[in-house]
Homo-oligomer: A and B are copies of this chain.
Amino acid sequence: MKSLNLTTQRQAVYDIVRNSHDHPTAADVMNRLVEKGYNFAYGTVYNSLRYLTEKELIRELKLGESASRYDAKLDDHQHIICEVCGRVDEVMSEIPKEWSGAVAKETGYDVHHAHVVFGGVCSECQTKRTK
């Protein structure tokens, strides 16, 4: 059921995602693979990312940008994007349960999950701005 087949390419892709802390896109992963001396086909990188996502070793993040990002952090968490520099940080603070309850009541949906993308200005950009 959950048998893992980690080929060389999948392992290499996984290592990159696992050791990156900036939520890389497929193109980022591709570049870092090349830096490490690998030369996989583009399709293989996408396949690996999909495979790893299906096996729940990584998560695909759709943050409203044009390209998906990937994240090896699996515990439930949200993200925040800096409107100035574009960096993406993690938000561990959990969505209040009363809120999901209110949403279920309002919509009649059976609510399974919520993807939240906060927007704002990161502390670095805040200090740069006030210069």
Chain A interface residues (CB < 8 Å from chain B): 62, 64, 80, 82-83, 89, 91-93, 95-96, 98-100, 102-104, 106-123, 126
Min CB distance A108 to B, Å, is 4
Tell me if A103 and B121 are in contact (CB < 8 A): no
> Copy number of this protein in the oligomer?
2
Chain B residues within an 8 Å CB radius of A116: 114-117
Which listed residue, B98, B113, B115, B122, touches A109 by the CB 8 Å rule? B122
Chain B residues within an 8 Å CB radius of A82: 109
Tell me if B96 and A108 are in contact (CB < 8 A): no
Tell me if B115 and A121 are in contact (CB < 8 A): no
A118 and B113 in contact, given A96-B98, A99-B95, A102-B93 (Cβ under 8 angstroms): yes
Tell me if A119 and B113 are in contact (CB < 8 A): yes
Chain B residues within an 8 Å CB radius of A114: 116-119
Chain B residues within an 8 Å CB radius of A64: 62, 64, 115
Chain B residues within an 8 Å CB radius of A107: 80, 89, 91, 118, 120, 122
Chain B residue nearest to A104 in the complex (CB): B120
CA distance A77 to B12 in the complex (A): 41
A80 and B103 in contact, given A111-B120, A114-B116, A122-B108 (Cβ under 8 angstroms): yes
Min CB distance A129 to B, Å, is 10
